Structure 1
Amino acid sequence: MFHKEGYKIILIATFTVGLGIILIDSFVVINWLNKLLAVCLLIFYITILQFFRNPKRNTQLSDNAIIAPVDGKVVVIEEVFEKEYFNENRIQVSIFMSPLNVHVTRYPISGEIKYSKYHPGKYLVAWHPKASEENERTTVVIENKVIGEILYRQIAGALAKRIVNYAQPKMNVIQGTDAGFIKFGSRVDLFLPLTAAIKVNLNDKVKGGEQIIAML
């Protein structure tokens, strides 16, 4: 299954690769070069398909659990001052997505969207310390009655040139469902209450929509 954000790109890639193979077969007479170019086109096509895969996830709904919004590697767990919305200290948990990861963003908790804002910005590498504040990004805050408010931030990187965010203020959303997409990877930051019990460690690989990041 592929994500809807990839349909157009997959269609263009299918046409381009198909046309490319026809042209190679017609005009490249050197056998080894013909095969090499065809294989390169097929690898490119498979890579595009991989970027937009959207596997089904079995979310166990829980009002006091915060689940991973994306697949990837935990690269930050620290207490920081969050200044865009909370203006107070929060626990930041950051998940880095490589180009090989699933790129779908999923809601980490169920609840009401209290805040959703897009910020244009730079395209620093996703692990850069200033990426969370200077890169293109979207900030979303969700509230439920048990956890209160949490914030997650989709951050573009050196390769990610488009962030898709479906969250709109006053929407009621369900944990684990589709919240958006970051085209060609990057990172997502979570800002959690200081009372949250973190259930992951640095360098853990997490599975979006299923794995518990923290409990309250």
Structure 2
Amino acid sequence: MVSTFVKPMHREGVKFVAIFAAIAAGLFFVTPVAGWLGVGITVWCYYFFRDPERVPPERDGLVVSPADGIVSLIEPAVPPTELGMAATSLTRVSVFMNVFNCHVNRAPTAGQITSIAYRPGKFLNASLDKASADNERNSLRIRTEAGDDLAVVQIAGLVARRIVCWTSEGDLLSTGERFGLIRFGSRLDVYLPPGVTPKVRIGQTMVAGETVMADLGETAGSGQPR
């Protein structure tokens, strides 16, 4: 029962929980109502930084969701220019995270990081289409063992003010491996390789590291191997 409700917390959240807890303790000297409100905010902060274990699918070539949240957009788009990918439209799947979702980001597929590029920008509502172009972002280009290139982009949102990425160029990632985190509401975009069609729909709830987003071994719309 305890493991059902109490999840591990990522180290990035320790200082924030400590700050909120100290403020909550101080508020009890003002009024018990304010103190208990502070306790509630502290519990929410812990919940925000939770880091549960996830079990990715075993089959090679699958693309899983890099984030918990809701599929907000599926559309053709050109990947971020700073990654050095071809300036042609690819299928982009966007997963929007609200402030109650787990915000630890996971690798959508196994492969080597060939490029990482950070770009400062605005803090528009991450659910908007133009957030991909205008907001602060951190982009990763991943090359699979089969030679497919795809991109995953961390995008700051209206509340998010800090993108964290603890991987480096040249690192090898396994499917579902943790690679970063965005604090307090944001979005992840995945640019699929040419000819790969998504297996999800707008409005679908995604579980990072587990929900299958696409199959790199299938051609678009055919369900047959490429």
RMSD: 1.4
C-alpha deviation, 1:129, in angstroms = 2.2
Residue type at the aligned position of 1:17: A
Q: Does residue 1:116 correspond to 2:150, yes or no?
A: no
Q: Quickly say closer, same or farther: Cα 1:83–1:100, change in 2 above 3 A.
A: closer
Q: Does residue 1:176 correspond to 2:173, yes or no?
A: no
Conserved in 1, the CA contact under 8 Å of 2:26 and 2:35? no
Counterpart CA distance in 2 for 1:169 and 1:83 is 16
Q: Provide the secondary structure at the position in 2 that maps to 1:82.
A: coil
Higher Cα Rg, which structure: 1
Q: Quickly say closer, same or farther: Cα 1:83–1:8, change in 2 above 3 A.
A: closer
C-alpha deviation, 1:83, in angstroms = 4.9
Residue type at the aligned position of 2:70: K
Q: Does residue 1:20 correspond to 2:17, yes or no?
A: no
Conserved in 1, the CA contact under 8 Å of 2:24 and 2:36? no
Residue type at the aligned position of 1:144: T
Counterpart CA distance in 2 for 1:83 and 1:164 is 18
Q: Does residue 1:58 correspond to 2:65, yes or no?
A: no
Conserved in 1, the CA contact under 8 Å of 2:65 and 2:212? yes
Counterpart CA distance in 1 for 2:157 and 2:52 is 23
C-alpha deviation, 1:205, in angstroms = 0.6
Matched residue, 1:7 = 14
Counterpart CA distance in 2 for 1:156 and 1:79 is 21
Give the gaps of 5 or more residues in structure 1: 25-33
Residue type at the aligned position of 1:11: A
Residue type at the aligned position of 2:78: F
Counterpart CA distance in 1 for 2:139 and 2:47 is 26
Matched residue, 2:91 = 91
Matched residue, 1:42 = 39
Residue number among 58, 78, 102 corresponding to 2:75 in the alignment: 78
After superposition, the C-alpha distances for 1:115-148 in whole angstroms (9 at most, x for unaligned) are 1011111101112222111111100011112361
Conserved in 2, the CA contact under 8 Å of 1:77 and 1:92? yes
How many residues are matched? 206
Q: Provide the secondary structure at the position in 1 that maps to 2:202.
A: coil
Task: Map 1:204-215 to 2 at 5 A.
Answer: 204-215=204-215
Counterpart CA distance in 2 for 1:192 and 1:59 is 18
C-alpha deviation, 1:213, in angstroms = 0.3
Q: Provide the secondary structure at the position in 1 that maps to 2:26.
A: helix
Structure with the larger strand share: 1
Give % identity.
Answer: 32
Counterpart CA distance in 1 for 2:89 and 2:122 is 25
Conserved in 1, the CA contact under 8 Å of 2:165 and 2:179? yes
- Larger mean Cα displacement after TM superposition, 129-138 or 151-160: 129-138
